[in-house]
Structure 1
Amino acid sequence: MDSNPPGVLVLDANQRSALAVTRSLGKSGQFLITTADATTQALAGASRYSKAYLQHPDPCHHPRDFIAWIKDLTGRQHFDLVIPTTEVTSQLLLFCKDELPGIELPFAPYETVMALSDKISLVELARSLDIPAPESLVFNNAAELEGVSVSYPCVLKPALSRIFTGHDWIYTHVKVIQDEAGLKQALDRAPYLKTYPFMLQDFIPGHGGGIFCLYNKGEPLQFFAHERLREKPPEGGVSVLSRSVPVNEELKASAKKLLDAVNWHGVAMVEFRVTPEGKAYLMEVNTRFWGSLQLAVDSGVDFPLMLARAQLGQPLNSMEDYRIDQRLRWLLGDVDSLYLYLKGRQPWMKKFMRLVSFLSIRLRHQKHEINRLHDLMPAWLEFRQYLKALVK
């Protein structure tokens, strides 16, 4: 290792994506990693590659205290790069960038990030670029729905996944609506829609498809794709078992057209819904690292290392050919998914087959996301957190 390697601060250290970033940069031997989160302990903080772990005020509930903390920290200690891995911390730091002149963030400007994060403005941008998106009715608030004819099923989609009020954050939810009664119930359970914009989008049958991208100041550097094999909850959610797949050229072309148009910088996950006939509709863009980031690293596409090198002006090589059918399993998430599936109303034979699939051991080209022999403490910490949550 260099006698004076660049210092990197990895935030949101209890996220699996933050652990993947910490392991990637730490294993490279090129960076000195500090991790931080609002919890007393965190997955990435327990990693052997984290040289120090810091606890800070909760950015969700005390955003101004968090900004004051990071301003004080970076005033006392220099970091060549700060990498947040959630929407809350990344958007908050970008929003307050003028107060934090000493931090280097691997993101596009705040206005560009929000233009893609806001699902309403994303639909408008997609239409201007001739990228297919679901038909959408836009409302500034719930009162504007009165007297509007709605076709079902549809998707109730708030403009933002996380809404910053200036004092705290509102967590919103996307919901499939089957009828008028369901819409009324969903609106009653989401009081924030009385004052914040949302859409009612056509429901697109089919499956999800995503393109994972890395850009450097408007130039595309890397693309990657994966397939979700099992999710939590089982009917659709976060991936607990996934595999790498070849990049779909049609989805890549649409993702590239979108990101080129905004002169993108950093990483992004561009999500689509693909109909049974094969037509892809743009759904949303995540403007930070994704949950199953470790799969890309295991497949040979080291996004965290490439991002850090690009941000610091270091040379890097893209990976045209990565390992296909490399698999990643989040074990405790998979346990939860199995429990929910067995608890559901599926026929007993389907439940039996799901149990057999869960117990099947794949010896080649599959790794556990958290459990790694070279770095055991994060798995031990996650197991303790899991047991603690069970007995609450």
Structure 2
Amino acid sequence: MTVLITDGRYKNSLAILRTLGEKKIDVFCSSIKKQALCFYSKYCKKSFLYPHPRKSPEKFIFQMKKIIQQNNIDVLMPVGVSSFTIVSKYKEELEKYAKVPVADYESYKIAHDKATANELAKKINVPAPLSYSPKSLAELKTCLKEFEYPVIIKARKGSSSNQVRYANDQSEAINIWQSFQKKAPRKNQDVIDYQFPIIQEYLPGEIVDVLFIFNQGKLRGCLTQERLLTLPVKGGSGALNVTTNDPKAAKYGIELMKALNWHGVGMVEFKRDANGTPKLLEINPKFWGTTEVSISAGMDFPYMLYKIAMEGDVKPNFSYLYPKKFGWPISMGVRHLLETETPFTTIKEYLKLFTIHNGTNIQLFKDPNPFSLQLKNTIRYLLLTLLQSVRERI
């Protein structure tokens, strides 16, 4: 029983490694860089490097096939957006060598593109905010007349918080839209696409995540969560989350993924409008950054995906602990503390995690080495931030 996971630098990759490793599954880890969290874990059977999936997709696939063949890998589990996208695109070729439990590329493309995902939502009557993807400056100026400010401007494809900006007036919206277009890569827009950014209505409420696993269009597990603290502070990845039970958001998310005949894991992000209605922000068609929250609450998506790959199916599970808070005090908590205008609230929320009912990613006794690397990286980040602050004052 062997699994190869990608993106060993990420905290969700570490969570996947740990939960599979605890079940005596041999997990091989790979990354584009040597300083990868997973490489330091006691559960990592062996580590490998690979070329950047977005910049060199063919070389990446060649390396994946080589690792799989030389190590008798049973299941390939991509994690990050670049590797997930390229693995889905080359799924048919990779399946000659290992099980690849990801969605077919035609479904993946629709989910990964925020514009086509929004169109799908409207088609099947899932609530979605007002959104446009203007193809010219003239179109942009016309569509902006329909919005109230602030508006959100985001890349059509990609999952980084750097690809989301806020504009408070028309002039700022035009400047951001044009700056996105200048960043558009000339080739290989499968992973990131800045060319025609999305203009989207701003919603004032909380972000609600619907997390799921499907087996060839059949739902096998679902969990909802909310982000209590985010990075960046104004809105982004969850820095401290809490599991919830939100039937309405879950219903909308499941309808979307059933329409795509989804296979594998993924997340649908909603945000509540002024009336409390969850509206689609985007689909994250891969393992999400806060995968560890689900595992700690009893919904072990990575192991369920492994079972689907190896045994053809898994027993459906919709039971999990809620509300359960989970966070990353070192890697994300410190950064949130530096950005927020309410530091005492941040400290208070993170201290609550060290109780029997909540949790953190710190495993000082079971698997301490990744924590050491996170601590080292956080100290380095603090020193660089301090140095930059000093330079700005000189």
TM-score interval (norm. to shorter): 0.7 to 0.9
Change in Cα spacing, 1:327 to 1:173, as seen in structure 2 (3 Å) is same
User: Which residue number corresponds to residue 388 of structure 2?
Assistant: none
Where does structure 1 lack aligned partners over 5 or more consecutive residues? 1-5, 163-169, 345-349
Q: Give the TM-score of the pair, scaled to structure 2.
A: 0.87
Indicate yes or no: 2:132 matched with 1:132: no
Asked if the contact 2:352/2:358 (under 8 Å) is kept, the reply is no
Asked if the contact 2:293/2:326 (under 8 Å) is kept, the reply is yes
- Any residues of structure 2 matched to 1:26-45 within 5 Å, and which? 26-29=21-24, 31-45=25-39
- The structural deviation recorded for 1:205 is 2.1
- The structural deviation recorded for 1:109 is 0.5
Change in Cα spacing, 1:389 to 1:353, as seen in structure 2 (3 Å) is closer
Deviations 1:128-184 (A, max 9, x none): 10111112223235464355553332222332127xxxxxxx997122222111112
Q: Could you say which structure has the higher helix fraction?
A: 2
Change in Cα spacing, 1:356 to 1:127, as seen in structure 2 (3 Å) is closer
Of 283, 294, 319, 1:321 maps to 319
Change in Cα spacing, 1:48 to 1:148, as seen in structure 2 (3 Å) is closer
Asked if the contact 2:265/2:305 (under 8 Å) is kept, the reply is yes
- The structural deviation recorded for 1:351 is 4.3
Indicate yes or no: 2:244 matched with 1:245: yes
Deviations 1:274-311 (A, max 9, x none): 12322121111111111111111111111110111012
Quote the Cα distance in structure 2 between the aligned partners of 1:120 and 1:225. 23
Quote the Cα distance in structure 2 between the aligned partners of 1:358 and 1:77. 41
**3-state SS of paired residue (2:311):** coil
Quote the Cα distance in structure 2 between the aligned partners of 1:353 and 1:218. 42
Quote the Cα distance in structure 2 between the aligned partners of 1:18 and 1:230. 21
User: Which residue number corresponds to residue 387 of structure 1?
Assistant: 379
Quote the Cα distance in structure 2 between the aligned partners of 1:272 and 1:293. 17
- Any residues of structure 2 matched to 1:89-238 within 5 Å, and which? 89-100=83-94, 101-142=96-137, 144-145=139-140, 149-150=144-145, 151-153=147-149, 154-161=151-158, 173-190=163-180, 191-192=182-183, 196-238=195-237
Deviations 1:28-82 (A, max 9, x none): 12x2110010111311221111111112223244333322222322333321111
Indicate yes or no: 2:370 matched with 1:378: yes
User: Which residue number corresponds to residue 302 of structure 1?
Assistant: 300
- The structural deviation recorded for 1:193 is 5.9
Percent identical pairs in the alignment equals 25
Asked if the contact 1:187/1:193 (under 8 Å) is kept, the reply is no
Q: Give the TM-score of the pair, scaled to structure 1.
A: 0.87
- The structural deviation recorded for 1:385 is 2.6
Of 272, 275, 289, 2:273 maps to 275
Q: What count of residue pairs does the alignment treat as equivalent?
A: 371
- The structural deviation recorded for 1:353 is 4.4
User: Which residue number corresponds to residue 166 of structure 1?
Assistant: none
- Alignment root-mean-square deviation, CA: 2.4
Quote the Cα distance in structure 1 between the aligned partners of 2:93 and 2:302. 26
- The structural deviation recorded for 1:213 is 0.6
Change in Cα spacing, 1:354 to 1:296, as seen in structure 2 (3 Å) is closer
Change in Cα spacing, 1:177 to 1:44, as seen in structure 2 (3 Å) is same
Asked if the contact 1:272/1:280 (under 8 Å) is kept, the reply is yes
Change in Cα spacing, 1:366 to 1:171, as seen in structure 2 (3 Å) is closer
Q: For residue 283 of structure 2, what is the amino acid of its counterpart? A: V
Change in Cα spacing, 1:356 to 1:301, as seen in structure 2 (3 Å) is closer
Quote the Cα distance in structure 2 between the aligned partners of 1:226 and 1:172. 22
Q: For residue 59 of structure 2, what is the amino acid of its counterpart? A: D
Asked if the contact 1:136/1:200 (under 8 Å) is kept, the reply is yes
- The structural deviation recorded for 1:97 is 3.4
- The structural deviation recorded for 1:103 is 3.4
- The structural deviation recorded for 1:314 is 5.4
Of 290, 293, 301, 1:292 maps to 290
Where does structure 2 lack aligned partners over 5 or more consecutive residues? 186-193, 385-394
Change in Cα spacing, 1:193 to 1:55, as seen in structure 2 (3 Å) is closer
Q: For residue 333 of structure 2, what is the amino acid of its counterpart? A: D
Deviations 1:10-37 (A, max 9, x none): 11011111111111111112x2110010
Change in Cα spacing, 1:95 to 1:135, as seen in structure 2 (3 Å) is same
